Structure 1
Amino acid sequence: MMAYQALYRVFRPQSFDDVVGQSHVTKTLQNAITQNKTSHAYLFSGPRGTGKTSAAKIFAKAINCENSTNGEPCNECDVCKGITDGSNPDVLEIDAASNNGVEEIRDIREKVKYAPTVSKYKIYIIDEVHMLSTGAFNALLKTLEEPPKHVIFILATTEPHKLPLTIISRVQRFDFKRITTQDIVQRMAYILNEEKITFDEKALMIIARAAEGGMRDALSLLDQVISYGSDEVSVQDALEITGSVAQNLLTDLVAAILNQDASLSMERLSSLLLEGKDPVRLVEDLLVFFRDILLYQKAPNLEETLERAVPDEPFRELAKSATASQIYKGVELLNKTTTQMRFSNHPGIYVEVAIVMLTQLEGGTQGDQGESSADVSALQSEVQELKRELAELKKLVASGARADNGKAEKVARPKKAAMNNSKSFKAPVGKINHVLDVAKKKDLQLIRGCWGELLSMLMASQAALLNDAEPVAASDDTFVLKFKHEIHCQMAMDNQSFVETVETSISKLTKTTYHFIGIPESQWFDVRENFLKTHNSGEEDESGEERSESALSDNDLFVGAAEKLVGADLLEIKE
């Protein structure tokens, strides 16, 4: 009785046309053979089960075939049959994982000089070439660069980054891609039809997705499903073998997640894990299912792009209710969970935590989205109203520039009313008068001299409050700080931490302990004017230094005089 052979061995590609999903490689090799432009060395790299070794053997047959047509082997001549069954002495397949020493490579170097016995070319296929030792690579270098004309090397590897650059530069490199789910399904359907086995195409989709782009893995899983289900490939058997979850169960679980029902979500998850579903596979299924929901929302006419989902009625309803925000955040969270599970001995815990976190994602349902849209509309209306009011204010300011007193009063009245309605800042006039009474010009000059350095010492948010502020009077322990805007003055003086920071910094710079009193510009002019009226500007203190006007800023005196002439409304002050 003949022993059973695995499907991937029985249906191994025997011609370039049989190689699935690698047309960019097979077409190039066929043209090279047809045009007699073959290289002396090739590197086939790519994931497992994508046809690297099969393509190498087909190439060996095609280049040596006695009846080659359009670069394809005939598979009928003695050379082709000998290479297929491994009896041809001129095609040597070497496993570098177990023959990775210098001695094995030296043996190859000794034998390459001999001419082939039955074929035109002697072909060396070195599989898993990245396993060679450094010494073996060095021994191979010269032979690989200039082998005899009758010798061709084909190196195959899943990890090309481990090869020395000196090797890669001496070969023609072909990168094999992961095979698409659709191509794998078509190949499996062809094989099952050849074997006369009934199947459900949905089951083939499940197997193909579980294979992750490897045809050999797909055919191995198909073998298991056939054995499990007594020569019939059904969806249920495919789910059992691959550890995947049926779509209706996935739909129920995702619906509970999107409805933010943690209790129901955990019930669905527990039942799946009790059935023996693989936690890692479950998270991968959820990840692809979220992806399918997003693609169906954006392009419902491209149903063939869906990998995991079948667009039935429950799936369509789910796609309508899900928001893009939920899907984006869900994909991000599931992707992180997949990475974490690879390094854990308890992947089930990560699944449970991920499900709970998914139910707590912000984004809400369609109702929430509607409320959010209403909020946005309200904000847009407010913005438009503010723009309209700003335009009116600009017009009023422009009309005020023509010194129309009547209009200026109209502008001023609303402003005054607005100030009365808001909570205004009241500067401590008594303390400020005391500072002015004992003010000295040298103290003011000392503080102003280091003001720029003070601003550079503060944090950006603190310095911003002082951008339009300036010291206007100072005694030996206190200075008056004028703020252009009342709101800035109030914010500064209400923040005790800010006050302490400024006082500490100015004391470090001046080597003198100073406190400060804040006052808005509008109040400062009144306080200063009243002080000047009630005090003799020429009076001297005990030390003989002038007070009052001499201790005040010259700029302040000039501004005060200008205000009396033209009025505060028409005056614009520039530093």
Structure 2
Amino acid sequence: MAYQALYRVWRPQSFLDVVGQQHVTKTLQNALLQEKTSHAYLFSGPRGTGKTSAAKILAKAVNCEKSPVAEPCNECDACKGITDGSIPDVIEIDAASNNGVEEIRDIRDKVKYSPNVVDYKVYIIDEVHMLSIGAFNALLKTLEEPPKHVIFILATTEPHKIPLTIISRCQRFDFKRITARDIVGRMGHIASESGVEYEENALPIIARAAEGGMRDALSLLDQAISFSQDKVTADDALTVTGAVSQGYLNRLAKAILEKNVVDALEVLEELLFQGKDPSRFAEDFILYFRDMLLYQTAPNLEESLERVMLDDEFKELTEKVKPQQIYQYINVLNEAGQEMKFTNHARIYLEVSIVKLCQMEQQGNTSSGEVEELVKKVKLLEKELNQLKAKGIKVQAEAPAQTTAKKPTRAKKGFKAPVGQIQEVLKTATKEDLGLIKSRWGDMLESLNQRQMRSQAALLNDAEPVAASSSAFVLKFKYDIHCQMAMENAKFVEALSSILEELTAGQYTVVGVPEDQWLSIREDFIRNNTSESGESADQQGEEDPIISEAKKLVGVDLIEIKD
């Protein structure tokens, strides 16, 4: 027989096997024992939470030869026939593909006939919200007053799409998302019964990725078993689900606390090199800080933690972080996550958010000891002031010059390109010097990687030389933040100059400029040097009338003049 997926083999056959829905199963069991089953039920809830399975179990329980029972025996002919689908009185209908009026009219016409084999004819209509308005109208009267031998069970993931006239004719049961703890328990039971070896840390990773769906969890477990060799490990689970291991999250959180931008970007680069999705990583990092905040405020509620394992490194980091910092971290990451949904450059937003976290000034970090010290100094000053007044000495306020002193201005954010240096380069720039640097640019990037400067080399992915003289060249960056990070790293700039000296036998000074500033600087230079014909300063001459007319028509920026 062909291999069957785990979620099909281990589909619940009794209410006891329906995980995490005790509020539903208990009610149905009591109704079965008291023989107070309704003529119509509506099961609603997220995917993979047991709606269709509970419907089939209910169909078996009402038709079991040992009824009234709280659980189907799964041994009588009726239970076995319903399980393998050989009894025609239990009809499963997919409303997604049978959503027309004719299909519902066919049901309405056949409802009046008595069941052939068992006591009750049960109609299970899956994804009932897909029915058309006409089909719902055709179902109304039959659903309200069906024959005594008929039970309707409607299942849906989107109850808001069902007309209220249908809902009011049914007993409604809302299935909820299954908790990670319940999913882990069920997966552990299935793995043990199936003879599958696994690491304890692997199952919680799969359970979190399933997002409350048992079927999704078993599908991921099936995939992890196929991916693994002899034992399902935590690394296998991380690979299959696309999640990030806690070791990387701890390293990144430590780098952010220490304000170490280089280490933080190196960790991020390793993760992205492994193929991790930036949006998924941002979500994991938000959950990481969320769990850190919960652990600080309520350390006994371990079951509320969604993302982390309580290892020693996580506990040590939690002691160093203040709640105000965590609030800031989550806000920055949440904003980045929203921006990443609407861009093709999700990596850039993630890198910028990590740099923001490393450079963020923490708020509200004044300790209680510092406050007490300030209070003591104020009281001492008040005491001295009272003593002076008692001696008849007049105390005057400080000079106006001191009270009205201006507050120090904060430095503006962003990178300001050195316009003077760039114009000096442009005055003596030649095509030959620029061509020489461009011809060795690929070798320079490769040399950076060989020197274990991969994170710095990543800053040059969207950078290119745009002008060069015999002693300096202008390096244009697409983004301000990358330009600022590169130019403020003295070690990186020195490495660029030394590598180019080895490759070209010339000493060059690197001048960085963001793309938007470069366009305005270049335009100003061309405008102020009217004798140039779009070429470098050493190639001046009388401008061709054709070139002059072309500039008037399309502008200087869109023209490239070749010899």
**Map of 2:238 onto structure 1:** 239
**Map of 2:358 onto structure 1:** 359
**Map of 2:124 onto structure 1:** 125
**Map of 1:330 onto structure 2:** 329
Q: Secondary structure at the match of 2:102?
A: helix
Letter in structure 1 aligned against 2:352 = V
- Is 1:273 the counterpart of 2:275 in the alignment? no
**Map of 2:107 onto structure 1:** 108
Cα distance, 1:127–1:382 mapped onto 2, change above 3 Å: farther
User: What's the TM-score, normalizing by structure 2?
Assistant: 0.66
Displacement of 1:136 in angstroms is 1.3
**Map of 2:200 onto structure 1:** 201
Cα distance, 1:339–1:97 mapped onto 2, change above 3 Å: farther
Distance in 2 between residues matched to 1:382 and 1:372, nearest whole Å: 16
Letter in structure 2 aligned against 1:129 = V
Higher helix share: 1
**Map of 1:149 onto structure 2:** 148
**Map of 2:57 onto structure 1:** 58
Distance in 1 between residues matched to 2:94 and 2:230, nearest whole Å: 35
Q: Is the 8 A contact 1:258 1:326 kept in 2?
A: no
**Map of 1:475 onto structure 2:** none
Q: Deviations over 1:323-361 (max 9, x none)?
A: 111112222333344444344444333322332232233
Displacement of 1:222 in angstroms is 0.5
**Map of 1:77 onto structure 2:** 76
Q: Is the 8 A contact 2:44 2:155 kept in 1?
A: yes
Deviating more after overlay: 154-163 vs 329-338: 329-338
Cα distance, 1:381–1:15 mapped onto 2, change above 3 Å: same
Letter in structure 2 aligned against 1:311 = L
Q: Is the 8 A contact 2:128 2:156 kept in 1?
A: yes
Q: Deviations over 1:471-523 (max 9, x none)?
A: xxxxxxxxxxxxxxxxxxxxxxxxxxxxxxxxxxxxxxxxxxxxxxxxxxxxx
**Map of 1:511 onto structure 2:** none
Distance in 1 between residues matched to 2:100 and 2:321, nearest whole Å: 58
Distance in 1 between residues matched to 2:323 and 2:398, nearest whole Å: 48
Which segments of 5 or more consecutive residues in structure 1 lack a partner in the other structure? Answer: 393-409, 424-575
Cα distance, 1:167–1:342 mapped onto 2, change above 3 Å: farther
Letter in structure 2 aligned against 1:277 = K
Q: Is the 8 A contact 1:323 1:363 kept in 2?
A: no
Q: Secondary structure at the match of 2:155?
A: strand
Distance in 2 between residues matched to 1:250 and 1:203, nearest whole Å: 17
Q: Is the 8 A contact 2:122 2:153 kept in 1?
A: yes
Letter in structure 2 aligned against 1:170 = R
Displacement of 1:135 in angstroms is 1.5
**Map of 2:177 onto structure 1:** 178
Distance in 1 between residues matched to 2:379 and 2:32, nearest whole Å: 72
**Map of 2:10 onto structure 1:** 11
Displacement of 1:379 in angstroms is 5.8
Q: Secondary structure at the match of 2:201?
A: helix
Distance in 1 between residues matched to 2:320 and 2:48, nearest whole Å: 40
The number of residues matched between the two structures is: 400
Q: Secondary structure at the match of 1:333?
A: helix
Displacement of 1:387 in angstroms is 10
Displacement of 1:265 in angstroms is 1.1
Cα distance, 1:417–1:288 mapped onto 2, change above 3 Å: closer
Letter in structure 2 aligned against 1:298 = T
Letter in structure 2 aligned against 1:354 = S
Cα distance, 1:70–1:327 mapped onto 2, change above 3 Å: farther
Cα distance, 1:106–1:379 mapped onto 2, change above 3 Å: farther
Letter in structure 2 aligned against 1:119 = V
Displacement of 1:88 in angstroms is 1.5
- Is 1:223 the counterpart of 2:222 in the alignment? yes
Displacement of 1:418 in angstroms is 4.3
**Map of 1:286 onto structure 2:** 285
Distance in 1 between residues matched to 2:26 and 2:11, nearest whole Å: 19
Q: Deviations over 1:225-263 (max 9, x none)?
A: 100113421111111111112221110011112222222
Q: Secondary structure at the match of 1:201?
A: coil
Displacement of 1:383 in angstroms is 7.7
**Map of 1:350 onto structure 2:** 349
Q: Is the 8 A contact 1:180 1:213 kept in 2?
A: yes
Letter in structure 2 aligned against 1:188 = M
Distance in 1 between residues matched to 2:168 and 2:381, nearest whole Å: 67
Distance in 1 between residues matched to 2:118 and 2:230, nearest whole Å: 42
Letter in structure 2 aligned against 1:83 = I
Letter in structure 2 aligned against 1:131 = M
Displacement of 1:105 in angstroms is 1.2
Displacement of 1:128 in angstroms is 0.8
Cα distance, 1:104–1:373 mapped onto 2, change above 3 Å: same
Cα distance, 1:231–1:26 mapped onto 2, change above 3 Å: farther
**Map of 1:89 onto structure 2:** 88
Distance in 2 between residues matched to 1:4 and 1:105, nearest whole Å: 35
Which segments of 5 or more consecutive residues in structure 2 lack a partner in the other structure? Answer: 402-563
Alignment of 1:292-331 (within 5 A): 292-331=291-330
Distance in 2 between residues matched to 1:211 and 1:99, nearest whole Å: 29
Q: Deviations over 1:243-292 (max 9, x none)?
A: 11222111001111222222221111011000112223212221221122
Distance in 1 between residues matched to 2:199 and 2:17, nearest whole Å: 23
**Map of 1:137 onto structure 2:** 136
**Map of 2:495 onto structure 1:** none
Distance in 2 between residues matched to 1:361 and 1:142, nearest whole Å: 64
Q: Deviations over 1:387-413 (max 9, x none)?
A: 9999x9xxxxxxxxxxxxxxxxx99x8
Displacement of 1:98 in angstroms is 0.8
Cα distance, 1:268–1:74 mapped onto 2, change above 3 Å: same
Distance in 1 between residues matched to 2:108 and 2:88, nearest whole Å: 16
Which entry has the higher C-alpha Rg, 1 or 2? 1
Cα distance, 1:142–1:265 mapped onto 2, change above 3 Å: same
